[in-house]
Amino acid sequence: MSSLYRKYRPNQFSELVGQDHIRGSIEAMLKSNQIGHAYLFSGPRGTGKTTLARLLARAVNCVGKKKGVEACGVCEICLEIQNGQSVDVMEIDAASNRGIDDIRELREKITFAPTRSKYRVYIIDEVHMLSKDAFNALLKTLEEPPAHAIFILATTELHKVPETIISRCLRYQFHRATPDKIVSILKEIAVKEGIKLEDDAAQLLAERAEGSYRDALSLLGNVSGEKDLNAANLRVLIGLPSAEVVSQLLSAVANGKPQVVASLLKGFVQEGLDVGVLVRSMANSCREQIFSSQGADVGVAAPLLEELLVALAKARQSIDATSLLCASLISASLARVSTGSQEASLVVTNEPSSSSVTDLSEKELPSAPAVDTVSATPVKVDDTGAFWPSFLAAVHEKNHALYAVVSSANFEGLTDDKLIIAVKFRFYSERLFEPKNRNLIETIASSITGRKLVLECLVKADLDSGTNKEEDLLSTVVEVFEINE
Ligand SMILES: [Zn+2]
């Protein structure tokens, strides 16, 4: 998968991409032979942390070094380290289950002198993932490291590394490579690989890689079957959305058109394209608007950009990133539906004889007075306690999509002839009042209570019922729009 990355992995300090600030200081340290015992490399993924760790392990141990600070790359020690076969260079992936065992083993063996090289080097990748016990064990080791030991800790999430560990390390912050830098490297490698890579295609790959040298090379590797790459065929090959789709979606979200958002997303997902890529493209487009704007669009683009970035961050930790991102986009558009009356609570009650309200648009909504919660307080009857759970169970049995909406609603009460519930979004209430849904709700409610009930639905923007946590809400939105994969 990342074979191009492996093939062109930097082999010397001078080949590290975009980390000149680190290179200078590491080289100076090697020149003066002031080797530290603990290093902490932090920064985004794919920016060369592990690569530099291995280069450093080689540089301190190489036996064929002539002059300067670079390892020779050809002596036995260099080759062993390069191939991951050195008994004196141990790589630990803290994200794996073995993390704690590895640290324990490390502590046991740490006192032994290196077998073949000058230094024993421990590279601990994603160190922030270590358990508390493992951190404590590591800390004890870092407090009194043997002279022959070097620790290189790498992390993408510095804030999760305990201060006690950080304070014992020499710290290096890795930067994302600039798009220009990545473009020039991609073009260089494309030439070596016999690929004709147009400028616009290289630019697109660099954008997509977001400063990760590794991602850029992986992407190029994935499409290297095509020997003539331009922006147009590249978009298709890596599943990048067209500029039109991105701008349509942005406008639908910004203008509060959840149905349009849902249908665009549905098409996108059905084509098997990556929603994460789509959302990143939307974020990029927002960012460009902010930078290029005269001020007028910033008010729209900036909050939207923030929401998109939050969604992307959440998606990274979600087991179902696609649904989460779809839901986030729909939520963002839902939140913009009722601009101007966001804080106002509305009563959306239909006349009992009302016919179809399926395509209820904002204009066609019955003129709704702001609710006076006191006068609207329903007369509670004895059966309310048992009513709601039975009602939910019955709806669940009959219609899952409807249940998704109803279960996020708040039960306000029953009167002699009304079932009153509250929902967070007007859109939900529109859904509930679709004839088949309303019919089902009223039929179930009537059969449970034994009297004829009519649905009344309040829209409360600030509704925050116990079950209405954000995650639930998002998954509900997805179900409502039936955009599960
Ligand atoms: Zn060497």
This prediction has a pTM of 0.60
Query: Within 13 Å and on the Cβ side, how many CA atoms surround 3?
Result: 6
Rounded to whole angstroms, the Cα distance separating 422 from 397 reads 21
User: Long-range contacts for 58-62 (Cβ within 8 Å, ≥24 apart)?
Assistant: 58/82, 59/13, 59/30, 60/30, 60/35, 60/118, 60/119, 60/121, 60/150, 61/86, 61/88, 61/89, 61/117, 61/118, 61/119, 61/121
Rounded to whole angstroms, the Cα distance separating 448 from 26 reads 75
Helix (H) or strand (E) holding 41: strand 38-42
The pLDDT of 78-86, averaged and rounded, is 89
The pLDDT of 80-104, averaged and rounded, is 83
Ligand 1 center–CA 81 separation, angstroms: 9
**What pLDDT shows up at residue 239?**
78
Beta-ladder partners of 158: none
Ligand 1 center–CA 66 separation, angstroms: 9
Are the C-beta atoms of 62 and 93 separated by less than 8 Å? no
Ligand 1 center–CA 6 separation, angstroms: 19
Ligand 1 center–CA 323 separation, angstroms: 50
Q: Which residue has the higher pLDDT, 374 or 385?
A: 385
Ligand 1 center–CA 71 separation, angstroms: 5
**What pLDDT shows up at residue 464?**
58
Q: What is the mean pLDDT of the chain?
A: 80
**What pLDDT shows up at residue 296?**
59
Q: Is the dihedral of CA 197, 200, 203, 209 positive or negative?
A: negative
Q: Which residue has the higher pLDDT, 8 or 393?
A: 8
Ligand 1 center–CA 195 separation, angstroms: 33
Ligand 1 center–CA 58 separation, angstroms: 7
Ligand 1 center–CA 170 separation, angstroms: 24
Ligand 1 center–CA 37 separation, angstroms: 21
Rounded to whole angstroms, the Cα distance separating 94 from 117 reads 24
Ligand 1 center–CA 5 separation, angstroms: 22
pLDDT of 383 over the 80 cut: no
pLDDT of 99 over the 70 cut: no
pLDDT tens profile 229-247? 998 889 888 878 888 889 8
pLDDT tens profile 330-362? 888 888 875 443 332 223 333 333 333 333 333
**What pLDDT shows up at residue 152?**
96
| 438 — pLDDT class (breaks 50, 70, 90) | very high
Ligand 1 center–CA 114 separation, angstroms: 16
pLDDT tens profile 256-301? 888 889 888 888 888 778 899 899 989 988 888 888 766 557 778 8
**What pLDDT shows up at residue 207?**
85
**What pLDDT shows up at residue 68?**
76
| 384 — pLDDT class (breaks 50, 70, 90) | low
Rounded to whole angstroms, the Cα distance separating 23 from 172 reads 10
Spatial neighbors of 302 by CB under 8 A, at least 6 apart, are 286, 290
pLDDT of 463 over the 90 cut: no
Ligand 1 center–CA 55 separation, angstroms: 10
pLDDT of 461 over the 60 cut: yes
Rounded to whole angstroms, the Cα distance separating 206 from 47 reads 13
Residue in 445, 341, 343 with CA at minimum distance from that of residue 390: 445
Ligand 1 center–CA 80 separation, angstroms: 10
**What pLDDT shows up at residue 217?**
92
Ligand 1 center–CA 327 separation, angstroms: 53
CB count in 10 Å sphere of residue 201: 28
**What pLDDT shows up at residue 428?**
81
Ligand 1 center–CA 120 separation, angstroms: 15
pLDDT tens profile 136-156? 888 988 998 899 999 999 999
Ligand 1 center–CA 27 separation, angstroms: 16
**For strand 454-459 and strand 346-348, is the pairing parallel, antiparallel, or unpaired?**
antiparallel
Q: Which residue has the higher pLDDT, 164 or 387?
A: 164
Ligand 1 center–CA 83 separation, angstroms: 13
Query: Within 13 Å and on the Cβ side, how many CA atoms surround 130?
Result: 27
pLDDT tens profile 199-215? 999 998 998 888 888 89
pLDDT of 126 over the 90 cut: yes
Ligand 1 center–CA 63 separation, angstroms: 5
| 224 — pLDDT class (breaks 50, 70, 90) | confident
pLDDT tens profile 173-184? 999 888 899 999
**What pLDDT shows up at residue 441?**
94
Are the C-beta atoms of 243 and 229 separated by less than 8 Å? no
pLDDT of 369 over the 90 cut: no
| 62 — pLDDT class (breaks 50, 70, 90) | very high
Ligand 1 center–CA 11 separation, angstroms: 12
Rounded to whole angstroms, the Cα distance separating 157 from 126 reads 8
**What pLDDT shows up at residue 338?**
55
**What pLDDT shows up at residue 40?**
97
**What pLDDT shows up at residue 485?**
36
Ligand 1 center–CA 60 separation, angstroms: 9
Q: CA geometry: angle at 246 spanning 255 and 268, to 5°? A: 105
**What pLDDT shows up at residue 477?**
54
Ligand 1 center–CA 369 separation, angstroms: 80
Ligand 1 center–CA 13 separation, angstroms: 14
Coil, strand or helix at 448: helix
**What pLDDT shows up at residue 98?**
67
Ligand 1 center–CA 119 separation, angstroms: 14
Rounded to whole angstroms, the Cα distance separating 270 from 281 reads 18
Ligand 1 center–CA 59 separation, angstroms: 7
**What pLDDT shows up at residue 97?**
66
pLDDT of 93 over the 60 cut: yes
Ligand 1 center–CA 33 separation, angstroms: 16
Q: Is the dihedral of CA 229, 232, 235, 240 positive or negative?
A: positive
The pLDDT of 372-391, averaged and rounded, is 55
**What pLDDT shows up at residue 412?**
87
| 465 — pLDDT class (breaks 50, 70, 90) | very low
Ligand 1 center–CA 156 separation, angstroms: 29
Q: Which residue has the higher pLDDT, 242 or 1?
A: 242
**Percent of the chain at pLDDT exceeding 90:** 30
